Chains A and B, each alone.
Chain A
Amino acid sequence: MIMDTGLSSFIKKLPLSYRKLKAIEEIGNEVYTLKFERKHEFLSGQVVAITTDLSIPPRLYSICSGTEEDEMAILFNVKHDGLLSPLLAQQKAGANLHVSAPFGAFLGDEEPAWWIASGTGVAPYRSMLRSGLHQHKKLIHGGRARDSFYFEQEMMAAFGDDYIRCCSQETGAGLYEGRLTKWIREQEVEKSGMKYYLCGSAEMVVEVRDILIGKGVDIDNIMAEIYF
C-alpha cells in the first residue's frame, strides 16, 4: 500500500489539475525534461507538485521553463528507490499529468548574483535565464560526469565565460576538474553587492554556504533551495 505523505491534502488550496504531457526527453543519463500544458502565471524559481496518478503521492519539482513560454517544463532524474520518478520517466506525449499551481519563494531577480547548482538543481536557473534574468550572473554547475551539465549549449551561449562546469569524476574540454566546492574555495568572492543562490542537494548547499560564510559573505546575501 502506498502511504500518502500528506501533499495531496495540503494542495487542496493548490489543487492538482490535469495537464496534457506535450513532450518528454532524456537529456542525460536517466535525467529527463517533461513539458506540459501551462495554465498558471508563475515566477521563475517556483516549484509545482506533480504526480502521474492520484494514488501516487505528488512530489515537488522546480520549473525549468521561462515565465513567458506557452508550455511549462520540469527537470528530474530517476530515483530508483523512489515511487514517482520511475513512473514519470515512462510517460509518453499525450499522457495526463496531475499538476499543482506554482508556488515557492526561491525567486530570481535582476541583481548581480552567482547561481550555484548541483545536478538537477540547475532547473530554477534555467527558468530564470529563460525569463530574462541572466544579466550580471555567473552560473556554477557541479556534476559527477561529462553528461551532467544539463542544458549545456544553452547555458554556454547565455553565460559564456561565466558558465563554470565543475566535474568531479571525469575530464573534458572546458570542464573544471574537481568538485564545485573546490572551485569556490579557490575564488575571491564579493562580500557585498553580490547574491549567492544555492540549489541542489543538502550536502552541496550546506558545504557551499559554509565556504561562503568563511570567506566573509553575509548570510543575508545567501539564498538556498534544497531538493528534499
Chain B
Amino acid sequence: MEKEPLFGKTPEQLKTLVQSLGMPAFTAKQLSEWLYKKHAHSFDDMTNLPKAARELLNEKYTVGLVENTTVQTSSDGTKKYLFPTAGNKFIEAAYIPDEDRATLCVSSQVGCKMGCLFCMTGKQGFQSQLSAGEIVNQIASLPEREKLTNIVYMGMGEPFDNLEGVMKSLEVLTSDWGLAMSPRRITVSTIGMIPAMKHFIENSECHLAVSMHTPFHDERRKLMPIENVYPIAEVIETLRSYDFGKQRRVSFEYIMFKGINDTPKHVKEIAKLLNGLRCRMNLIRFHPIPDTPLLSSTEETIQEFREGLVKKGIRTTVRASRGQDIFAACGLLSTKELVKQQASDF
C-alpha cells in the first residue's frame, strides 16, 4: 500500500494524525514547520522529533515533496517542469521569469474535463484530481522557488472543477503557518464554473481570472461546452454582486482567434457585457495545436482589438508570448492512449 503524503495537510489535520499515532499534539506544529518553513525532504531531517516518532512516521507516511523529472528550457528563459503525481501520471508547471517578476503557472488536475476546442490539455481527457499537496509541491519543489513573485492557476485542468484541492492549496500557500504568500500574488483562473467561483470569491482573497474568449453565447458554446450550463453573461452578472476593490482583481482572458472572435462587433459586445464592472482584459495570442481549425489573429488585428477595448474604457493588455519553442513538446500526447485504455466509457 502506498504511504500517505503529509505535505499539503493543515496543522489541524496534522494534529489529528499525530494524536492517532499516540504522539503529543505539539508534534503537529513541529511537523508543520518542517514541511512548510524548513522544506524538509525526509522525516530523518526533522531532528527535533524523537527518533521513535520519526521511525513511526517513516513507517506510515511520506513527507510528500516530489522533485521534477524533466525540465525543458526556452531560449527566453521560460522553463517547463514535469512533476510525477499519484498513479504514475504527470503534470506540468511553467516557470516564467520576466525582469523583476517570476511567475509560476501551476496545474490543478491531471488532464481536464472541460473540452475547450482550443486547449491541448483537453485532448488527453480527465485523468485525476490533484491533492492540495501535489498542487503546492509544484511551488515548493521548484528549483527557482526563492525567486517566485507570482503564482497563477492556469496550467493543466480547470481549478474550480477541483475546488477542494485548490482551496486547500491556497490555504497552505497563504497561511502564516504555510508558505505565507500574499493572496495578492496569486491568481486562480476559471472558465466560469459559477457555483465554485462564488465559493472561491467568498472564501479567498486571491485574484480571479475568467476565460471569456467571446462575448457571444452561441459562439462560446462551440469553443467552450461549459457555456451550455454556465453562460458568460451569467458569470459576469454573478461577479457584479461582489466588490472587486482596488486590492482584489478580476480579469478576463481572451485568446484571439482569426475571423472568429476578433471583430469590432466583439469589441462592442464585450464593452456592453463588462459595462460598469471594475476589471481588466488580457488578450492572448493563440498558438495552434493539432486537429484544431483555429488560427491566431494577426498582430495588426490584435492591436486594433486592444485599442478598441481601451477606447471603450476597458483596461486591456496583450500578454507576451513566452516559451513558444518548448510549448509544442509538452508530452501530453504521450499519455493519451494510456488514458483511453484506462478510463474510456465508449
Contacts and interface: CB of A to CB of B under 8 A. Distances in A.
Interface stretch (A86-94, A156-164, A197-205): A197-205
Interface stretch (A6-14, A17-25, A32-40, A126-134): A6-14
A47 B114 CA distance: 17
B195 A5 contact: yes
Contacts of B293: 213, 218-219
B108 to A, nearest CB: 14
Given A206-B115, A219-B293, A105 B195 contact: no
B122 A168 contact: no
B89 interface: no
A202 B222 contact: no
Interface in A152-172: 166, 168
B113 A228 contact: yes
A205 B291 contact: no
Contacts of B229: 47, 60, 103-105
A84 interface: no
Chain B's interface size range is 35 or more
B228 A200 contact: no
Interface string B182-225: 00000000000011111110100000000000000100011101
Contact of B197 (A6, A8, A142): A6
A118 B122 CA distance: 17
B228 A104 contact: yes
Given A5-B199, A105-B227, A228-B161, A210 B123 contact: yes
Contact of B346 (A11, A118, A210, A214): A118
Contacts of B238: 10
Interface stretch (B94-102, B171-179, B322-330, B337-345): B337-345
Nearest to A217: B293
Given A6-B163, A10-B198, A202 B122 contact: yes
Interface in B292-346: 292-293, 339-340, 343-346
Given A3-B164, A119-B345, A119-B346, A222 B292 contact: no
Contact of B222 (A9, A222, A226): A222
A224 B195 contact: no
Nearest to B164: A3
Contact of B123 (A206, A224, A228): A206
B344 A204 contact: yes
A4 interface: yes
B346 A206 contact: no
Interface range on chain A: under 10, 10 to 19, 20 to 34, or 35 or more? 35 or more
Given A202-B126, A206-B125, A220-B222, A225 B199 contact: no
A168 B346 CA distance: 6
B199 A223 contact: no
A223 B117 CA distance: 11
Nearest to B158: A228
Contacts of A8: 195
Contacts of A118: 344-346
Contact of B196 (A5, A119, A209, A214): A5
A31 B223 CA distance: 31
A204 B217 contact: no
Contact of B228 (A106, A203, A210): A106
A224 B346 contact: no
Contacts of A179: 344, 346
A226 B225 contact: yes
A5 B115 contact: no
B231 interface: yes
Interface in A100-145: 103-106, 118-119, 142-144
A28 to B, nearest CB: 12
A96 interface: no
B155 to A, nearest CB: 17
Nearest to B227: A105
Contacts of B123: 206, 210
A166 B344 CA distance: 13
A52 interface: no
A106 B197 CA distance: 22
B225 A6 contact: no
B267 interface: no
Nearest to A12: B198
Given A166-B346, A210-B123, A203 B340 contact: yes
A214 B340 contact: no
B130 interface: no
Given A201-B113, A204-B344, 18 more contacts: A3-B163, A3-B167, A6-B199, A7-B195, A103-B229, A105-B229, A118-B344, A119-B345, A166-B346, A201-B343, A203-B340, A203-B346, A204-B345, A210-B292, A219-B223, A220-B222, A226-B114, A228-B113
Interface of A: 3-11, 47, 60, 103-106, 118-119, 142-144, 166, 168, 179-181, 200-206, 209-210, 213-214, 218-220, 222-228
